[in-house]
Amino acid sequence: MAEDLGERCEELAHEVLAPLVLGGPMRAVRPFGGRLGLSLGIQREIVDLDLRSRLDVARVRRARLLAPIDALPPLDEADWAVLAAFNDLVQLTNQHLVTVFTRRNYARLLGNLRWLCERIPAPRDVLGAISRHATFCRALELVRTDSSVKWWTGSASFRGETPPTRLTAWKDLRRVEIDAKRIPLTEMTLGLKGIASDDFNDALSLWLTRTPLTDLAEAARRAPLFSWSASTLSLIATTPGRSLAFRALSRQPAERVASALARANAQIPSALDEARELAVGFTNEVAVGRLQLTEQHKGSDAEPRNRASRR
Binding site for other proteins (CB under 8 A): 19-20, 22-28, 30-36, 58, 61-62, 64-65, 88, 90-91, 93-97, 102, 105, 107-109, 111-112, 115, 138, 141-145, 159-162, 171-172, 175, 188, 251-253, 293, 297, 300-301, 303-305, 307-308, 311
Residues facing residue 180 across a β-bridge = 147
Q: Which of 271, 308 has the CB closer to other proteins?
A: 308
Task: State the Cα–Cα distance between residues 260 and 214, nearest whole angstrom.
Answer: 15
Degrees, nearest 5: CA angle 156-161-166:
55
Q: Which of 105, 268 has the CB closer to other proteins?
A: 105
Q: Which of 260, 279 has the CB closer to other proteins?
A: 260
Q: Quote the least distance from Cβ 237 to other proteins, whole Å.
A: 26
Task: State the Cα–Cα distance between residues 93 and 100, nearest whole angstrom.
Answer: 17
Q: Quote the least distance from Cβ 49 to other proteins, whole Å.
A: 20
Q: Which of 52, 64 has the CB closer to other proteins?
A: 64
Q: Quote the least distance from Cβ 220 to other proteins, whole Å.
A: 10
Q: Quote the least distance from Cβ 293 to other proteins, whole Å.
A: 8
Degrees, nearest 5: CA angle 162-165-168:
95
Q: Quote the least distance from Cβ 165 to other proteins, whole Å.
A: 16
Q: Quote the least distance from Cβ 129 to other proteins, whole Å.
A: 19
DSSP calls for 64-101: TTTS--S--PPP-HHHHHHHHHHHHHHHTT-GGG--TT
Contact of 213 with 243, CB cutoff 8 Å: no
Q: Which of 83, 169, 74 is nearest to 128 (CA)?
A: 74
Q: Which of 61, 222 has the CB closer to other proteins?
A: 61
Task: State the Cα–Cα distance between residues 3 and 10, nearest whole angstrom.
Answer: 11
Q: Which of 62, 79, 55 is nearest to 247 (CA)?
A: 62
Q: Which of 127, 176 has the CB closer to other proteins?
A: 176
For residue 164, is it left (φ>0), alpha (ψ between -120 and 50) or beta?
beta
Q: Quote the least distance from Cβ 139 to other proteins, whole Å.
A: 8
DSSP 222: S
How do strand 177-184 and strand 143-151 relate by DSSP bridges? antiparallel
Q: Which of 145, 243 has the CB closer to other proteins?
A: 145
